[in-house]
Amino acid sequence: MEAGKLQFIGHETAETQKNQATPPETSTIFVRPHALDLSREPNGDNAIKSTVLHINPAGPTVKLELKSEWGDLIQATITQDKFKKLQIKPGMQVYVLPLDMHVFNR
């Protein structure tokens, strides 16, 4: 994160959420796979346009491997109900919204 902008491996994507403090220096942000919300439409300024590469629906949660629009891989975990509701298929475009970001200052 630099100047309040969320970055993934050098790619500036979106401003930080207004209720989060903006660190003055460069920071690294980690988001756990279950702390990502997926939708079929953009759902906020921090939504990351991504393509579904792989789906593992085994078990109580569905594990997804996504590719961001700039090429970085994103791993997400969603409930079976959310998976069925969104009708996610490989190759489909989805939007990823980080819900709980952990900021580590450098």
The domain 5-105 is classified under which CATH number: 3.40.640.10, 3.40.50.1820, 3.10.20.600, 2.40.50.140? 2.40.50.140
Residues ≥6 apart with Cβ < 8 Å to 19: none
Beta carbons of 66 and 76 less than 8 angstroms apart:
yes
How do the domains of the chain map onto residue ranges? 5-105
**Secondary element (H or E) of residue 82:** helix 80-86
Tokens of 56: 């593992």
Tell me how far apart the alpha carbons of residues 57 and 30 are, in angstroms, rounded to a whole number.
24
C-beta neighbour count of 87 within 10 angstroms: 8
- Give percent of the chain above pLDDT 70: 74
What is the tens place of the pLDDT at every residue in 30-45?
788 888 999 999 887 7
What is the tens place of the pLDDT at every residue in 64-81?
999 999 898 999 999 999
Tell me how far apart the alpha carbons of residues 6 and 89 are, in angstroms, rounded to a whole number.
27
